[in-house]
Chains A and B, each alone.
Chain A
Amino acid sequence: MNKFNQKNLLKKIKNGDESSFGKVYDFYVDKIYQFVFLKVNHKENAQEIVQDVFWKFWQYVHKPEAQINNISSLLYTIARNLVFDFYRSQGRDARVTIPIESQDMIDSLVQDNSLEKEAEIDIKYDIEAVQKALEILPDSYQDIIVLKYINELSNKEIGIILNKKEGAVRVNCHRALLALKQAIKKQDLDR
């Protein structure tokens, strides 16, 4: 979705055009769902939050003072805030105590059908380890890893979402990866 399209879409949404809103929804819903799911680790909660993200987006576009340069950044910012609200409403520890629906998750995580079955088992295991390690990282590192390496956003977009300078994002990416690596190693040792 290029900038011109974005501007056009936003203009139409502002004028109340439902089909343009539908286009934005269709284009971004998978990505936003992925981001939210990795943060809350619970299907129904993720669905509720994602629905709320798009509703908030509609509301925000209609604010007279709204200045939107990038739809993607706005959606992720809203999603991040709502996840934060969710944690708060559940109590901070909720994220840790929610059981991981391991099998469901692994099934949905592994998409590469071309792999041999044995290799697939290894990847399942690795991805699960990565996922579990992600959970114990501080929020700021989690955000960076999910946005940068899973949702594959640019440093610039991440900077807008996290309200950081591009350089700081670059530095934090490096640190977040090191922290994740350490967390995986630690898990291996504990196992």
Chain B
Amino acid sequence: MNDLIKQLNKIEIKPDQDWKQDSRDFLISKIRRVDGIRNNHGLSGFWARAVNIWSRMFIVPRIAWKPVGVFALVALIFFGGSAVLVQASKSSVVGEPLFVVKVAVESLKMAAETDNIRKVALANKVLDSRLSEFDRVFTASNDGSAVSNSQDNNANDEVALALDEVEKNIFKVSYRFTDLKNDNYEDDKRMVAAAMEVNKQMKSYKQKLKKAQAEAKAGEVVEKIEQVLARVDEVDIDVLEVIVDSHSKNEDLVDKNELNSIFNERLVEIGVEAEQVAQVVDFKSDQLSGDILEKTEKVKQNIKIANEALQKGEYGLVLSLANDTSELLRLVYGENFDVYKLEFTSSKEEQDMATDTESGDDEAGVESSDNNVEDEIETNINELGEIKGDTDENFLPTSGNIDFNEKLIQIDEVVIEDNENNQNTGPGTDDSNGDEGDGEVLSEPEQVKEFEVGIN
């Protein structure tokens, strides 16, 4: 491995000197030009902000957006900002030409808004819209209509793009909420109502994202959703701090039952994660450091104390314990833990799989109908495909004592093989006999037959 790292260290690529200088000069002149525009338009307040947003969006478009931006600008000039165009852009999703119009309209609305509470509500509304768009793109990508791998990749790109937009707008909600906090807003009642609303929204976003994460097929989408969920959590913690703080100042501001329910759900959520961690710790206790075992124990204690504090209505303590516990869980995950978790999950799924396969054989032996057997086998095929890839050797149960590194290599081999197969074949093609894939989709009985060969 050290040799490989040494080789990697030797890779050094440098740009042409001439290009470096030209590019530098070009950038400096561009800065002068745009700064000139910015400083000379002589506008202030709302119009200055509006023009600034507009110029950022269209004067210097990103590579990918260049044609879209130009098209949208021409279209806007042509229609003179007509309501038809704005209306048409409402149903657009990221990546479509009219999406840029939709975002521009949203940005202008935000620039026109002066009240910080309404800004938070508006940012939340935009986020809601981005999440609905993600939902549409994700549902379309997950409907199984892709017949080739490049189509799958494109669909994943679109999902990732939609998730980027969701994440970007979570940041915006967070900025707006921070502005609201820093503004020392005097109307506590409105501020708490805004915070409660954001909390409610974040809860619903979390549910939607978790559902999508459970359904997502591509690893990168799962990972990206995990990132977005972490952002949602950060905003939620900010919001909860405001709610608890306001409640400690004036108990009438927040309904106690509502507060109980919010924290109860949060503790349950942390409890579920803690339970998963505990299972992995039990599974790998001999290989884990004392520090991790200590942290896991501390997590259990924290949850217990937090539940007691919740009964007594000490919400500040509950929030602080919940945050500490989440942080502890994050720290546990930071030390090779996710690899152990992966190993634990694979081992568990392999066991379940072996049990399922056995029971499938038994049922076939006791004269269950042919259709039922085929259904069951097909379900097993899907499960196996999701867990381990599609090679025959992966159908064989592996020993729980398999070397850790060997296991990682096996998983990575599957990733690499998948990549190769993806370039040549579509889903449902038969590569197990070494033939080049031709994109032909096997009929169901053929799939079943292949699976039976795989087991035997």
Where the two chains meet, the residues of A that have a C-beta atom closer than 8 Å to any C-beta of B are 16, 18, 21-22, 25-26, 29-30, 33-34, 37-38, 46-52, 54-56, 58-59, 65, 81-82, 84-89, 91-93, 96, 105, 108-112, 123, 126-127, 130-131, 136-140, 145, 149-150, 152, 163, 165-168, 170-171, 174-175, 177-184, 186
Interface pair B63/A49, CB less than 8 Å apart: yes
Q: Which residues of B contact A21 (CB under 8 A)?
A: 27-28, 31
Given A92-B153, A180-B4, decide whether A130 and B334 contact each other with a Cβ distance below 8 A.
no
Is B13 within 8 A of A54, CB to CB? no
Q: Min CB distance, A163 to chain B, in Å?
A: 5
CB distance B63 to A178 under 8 Å? Answer: no
Docked Cα-Cα span, A16 to B35, in Å, equals: 8
| Structural contact, B23 and A127, CB atoms closer than 8 A | no
Per-residue 0/1 for B42-81: is the Cβ within 8 Å of any A Cβ (1 yes, 0 no)?
A: 0000000000000010001011110000000000000000
Specify which of B1, B30, B336 is in contact with A167 (CB 8 Å cutoff): B336
> Can you list 14 A-B contacts with CB-CB less than 8 angstroms, sorted by A residue number?
A33-B14, A54-B23, A65-B175, A89-B64, A108-B12, A109-B10, A130-B8, A138-B415, A140-B220, A140-B223, A174-B408, A175-B412, A179-B412, A179-B415
Q: With A33-B15, A127-B11, A177-B5 known to touch, is A22 a contact of B24 (CB < 8 Å)?
A: yes
Taking CB atoms, residues of chain B closer than 8 Å to A38 are 11, 13
A127 touches B7 (CB 8 A): yes
Given A81-B164, A108-B12, A182-B412; 10 other pairs, CB 8 A cutoff: A25-B27, A29-B20, A38-B11, A50-B23, A51-B23, A112-B10, A127-B7, A150-B11, A168-B338, A181-B1
A177-B338 in contact (CB<8A): no
Q: Nearest chain A CB to B443's CB is how many angstroms away? A: 28
Q: Is B334 a contact partner of A168 (Cβ separation < 8 A)?
A: yes
- Contact pattern, B 216-241, Cβ under 8 Å of A = 1, otherwise 0: 00011001000100000000000000
Q: Which size bracket describes the interface of B in this complex? A: 35 or more
What's the minimum C-beta distance from B434 to chain A, rounded to whole angstroms? Answer: 14
CB distance from B210 to the nearest CB of A (A): 18
* Docked pose: A20 CA to B150 CA in angstroms: 44
Chain A residue with the shortest CB-CB distance to B418 = A138
A174 to B175, CA, bound (A): 36
Q: B311 within 8 Å of A by Cβ?
A: no
Task: Evaluate contact between A52 and B62: CB separation under 8 angstroms.
Answer: yes
The residue that B161 contacts in the complex, of A55, A88, A112, A179, with Cβ under 8 A, is A88
**Is the beta-carbon distance between A186 and B220 smaller than 8 angstroms?**
no
> Which A residues touch B63, using CB under 8 A?
48-49, 52, 82, 85-86, 89
Residue ranges of B at the interface with A (Cβ–Cβ < 8 Å): 1, 4-5, 7-15, 19-20, 23-24, 26-28, 30-32, 35, 56, 60, 62-65, 95, 150, 153-154, 157, 160-161, 164, 175, 219-220, 223, 227, 330-331, 333-339, 405, 408-409, 412-413, 415-416, 419-420, 423
Nearest CB to that of A38 among chain B residues? B13
A26 to B23, CA, bound (A): 11
Residue in B10, B330, B405 whose Cβ sees the most chain A Cβ within 10 Å: B10
Verify A93–B150 contact, CB threshold 8 A.
Answer: yes
Residue of B23, B150, B338, B412 with highest tally of chain A CB at under 10 A: B412
Residue of A nearest to B12 (CB): A111
Contacts of A179 in B (CB 8 A): 412, 415-416
Q: Is the CB of B334 within 8 A of A51?
A: no
Q: Which of A34, A51, A130 contacts B12 (CB 8 A)?
A: A34
Q: Complex Cα distance A56/B64, Å? A: 13
Expressed in whole angstroms, the minimum distance between the Cβ of A60 and any Cβ of chain B is: 10
Cβ contacts under 8 Å, A29 to chain B:
15, 20, 23-24
Residue numbers in B under 8 Å from A33 (CB-CB): 13-15
B419 touches A136 (CB 8 A): yes
Within the assembled complex, what's the spacing in Å between the Cα atoms of A165 and B338? 11
Bound complex: CA A34 to CA B13 (Å): 5
**In the assembled complex, which residues on chain B have CB atoms less than 8 Å from the CB atom of A49?**
63
Bound-state Cα–Cα, A115 to B67, Å:
48
Report the separation of the CA atoms of residues A110 and B154 in the bound assembly, to the nearest whole angstrom. Answer: 35
The answer, among B8, B11, B60, B220, for a CB contact under 8 Å with A55, is: B60
B12 close to A86 (CB less than 8 A): no
Residue A59 contacts which of B60, B65, B153 (CB distance < 8 angstroms)?
B60
How far is the CB of A108 from the nearest CB of chain B, in Å?
5
Chain B residues with CB below 8 A from A46, complex form: 15
Sort A-B residue pairs by CB-CB distance and give the 5 closest, nearest first: A167-B334, A149-B8, A85-B64, A89-B64, A179-B412
Known: A34-B14, A86-B64, A178-B409. A18 touches B338 (CB 8 A): no
- How far apart are the CA atoms of A117 and B220 in the complex, in Å? 43
- Interface contact A85-B62, CB-CB below 8 Å: yes
Q: How far is it, in angstroms, between the C-alpha of A34 and the C-alpha of B164 when the chains are bound? A: 25
- Determine whether the beta carbon of B8 is less than 8 Å from that of A88: no
B413 touches A182 (CB 8 A): yes
How far, in whole Å, are A114 and B403 apart by their CA atoms in the complex?
A: 41
Query: A127 near B10 (CB under 8 angstroms)?
Result: yes
Query: B27 touches which one: A51, A65, A108 (CB < 8 A)?
Result: A51
When the two chains form their complex, are residues A149 and B333 in contact, meaning their CB atoms are under 8 A apart? Answer: no
For A111, give the chain B residue with the smallest CB separation.
B12
Max chain A CB contacts within 10 Å: which of B11, B30, B423? B11
A145 touches B8 (CB 8 A): yes
**Is B56 in contact with A177, judged by CB distance below 8 angstroms?**
no
CA of A166 to CA of B334, assembled, Å? 7
Residue A130 contacts which of B11, B28, B60, B339 (CB distance < 8 angstroms)? B11
Chain A contacts for B31, CB-based, 8 A:
16, 18, 21, 58
**Complex interface: chain A residues within 8 A of B15 (CB):** 29-30, 33, 37, 46-47, 50
Contact residues in B for A82 (Cβ distance below 8 Å): 62-63
One of A96, A168, A182 near B423 (C-beta < 8 A):
A96
Whole-angstrom CA separation of A154 from B348 in the bound complex:
35
Given known A-B contacts A18-B28, A21-B28, A93-B153, A47 and B23 have beta carbons under 8 A apart: yes
Choose from B14, B150, B419 the contact partner of A30 (Cβ within 8 Å): B14
